[in-house]
Amino acid sequence: MKLFDIMETKGHEQVVIGSQPDTGLRTIIAIHDTTLGPALGGCRIWPYASEDEALTDVLRLSRAMTYKASAAGLNLGGGKAVIIADPKKEKSEALFRAFGRFVQSLNGRYITAEDVGTDVTDMEFIRMETKHVVGLNTDRGGSGDPSPVTAVGVLHGMEATLQETGKSGKFDGLRVAIQGLGHCGSHLARLLHERGASLIVTDINPERTDMAASEYNAEVVPPDQIIEVDADIFAPCAMGAVINPESLDRLRAPIVAGSANNQLATIEMAAELEKRGKIYAPDFVINAGGLINVSFELWGYNRERALRRTRNIYYQLRKVYKQSREKKITTQDAAMEVAVERIDIIRKISRSYRKA
């Protein structure tokens, strides 16, 4: 891999490699852009097949965090860490404390958090070595489970998206199809039910669909049918790549708005959705509630303030839709533009200050 070429074209500032053989630590931290603030992003632990694969992943994920934080209006940059190990067999206090010391050596340029393969307990080991970690338990002054706030953000985003289609933004009488009733999907189901929406749900775990049927009177459909149910909104809250060449023509709902990451199998799907008259709420904008929530740990966590700030997702999406309409670009491209524009403006301001 031509690392410097990639860093130069994709805009990464710094890539740091850490190793401590006696703890099994093999880690890469990528700091993509710190124009807006320190780089925040989770620590993923995964048994990557090769170092190149780990590096490719951390470069891609750190860059995505820059745009997510920017679009959310946070004063944070984008970063990510990967640890090459099997989370089922190789996690230990020593490993995470060694990682914590490595994070500490960056002196706050990178702030770590939970991601795939890591949890609150791991964050507590990291916290023993560095204060540059968020995602701690509420009893440690942390923000706890982010998914209720992510669900609130998705709800605000749905409101903005409904308004874009000329509707009131109210949920009463609407039909919402939810794919996945895990942490986010189950909170979203409750919020929508409380607001008078009818729910059509699916999950591979029947306990979850049974719960939604009994608590929210939800209609349950098999996983392969959720995309084609008659609904006002399709809310992907499970896995990625749900909008793909195979599902595009089966999708009936005019709106795609949910918490899942990487909903589009490829970037071309955004234009394909538009051709079919659908509105897509870019995932990295609508699902930023969890990031907003966790970022509040940096200033002393306060749930009320985090929830108030999550309302920003509504305004950001209104801005994205306006830009998409005016420039005749997809909502995905407009969201990227909104994120990049903010970084560019702040970069110019800080340069002019330095010159003065």
Which residues lie near ligand NAD (CB under 6 A)? Answer: 146-147, 150, 179-185, 202-205, 208, 223, 237-239, 259-261, 287, 290
d(CA 156, CA 172): 15
Among residues 98 and 294, whose Cβ is nearest to ligand NAD?
Answer: 294
- Judged by phi (left if over 0) then psi (alpha if -120 to 50, else beta), residue 270 lies in alpha
Among residues 25 and 39, whose Cβ is nearest to ligand NAD?
Answer: 39
H or E segment to which residue 29 belongs: strand 25-33
Q: Position of tokens 């729910």?
A: 199
Smallest distance, Å, CB 287 to ligand NAD?
Answer: 4
Smallest distance, Å, CB 282 to ligand NAD?
Answer: 13
Contact 79, 39 (CB under 8 A): yes
d(CA 186, CA 209): 9
Smallest distance, Å, CB 329 to ligand NAD?
Answer: 24
Give me the residues paired with residue 20 across strands: 25
Smallest distance, Å, CB 292 to ligand NAD?
Answer: 10
The identity of residue 41, as a single letter, is G
d(CA 130, CA 104): 5
Among residues 113 and 184, whose Cβ is nearest to ligand NAD?
Answer: 184
Among residues 109 and 309, whose Cβ is nearest to ligand NAD?
Answer: 309
Give me 35's structure tokens: 């124009």
Smallest distance, Å, CB 277 to ligand NAD?
Answer: 25
d(CA 19, CA 216): 50
From 183, 126, 194, select the one nearest 150 (Cα to Cα): 183
Among residues 26 and 63, whose Cβ is nearest to ligand NAD?
Answer: 63
Smallest distance, Å, CB 276 to ligand NAD?
Answer: 22
Which residue out of 68, 80, 278, 319 is catalytically annotated? 80
Among residues 121 and 205, whose Cβ is nearest to ligand NAD?
Answer: 205
- Active site annotation includes 80: yes
HSE, CB side, 13 Å, CA atoms: give it for residue 276: 20
Q: Pairing between strand 255-256 and 233-236?
A: parallel
How far is Cα of residue 140 from the mean position of the Cα atoms in its chain?
Answer: 24
Question: Which residues are known catalytic residues?
Answer: 80
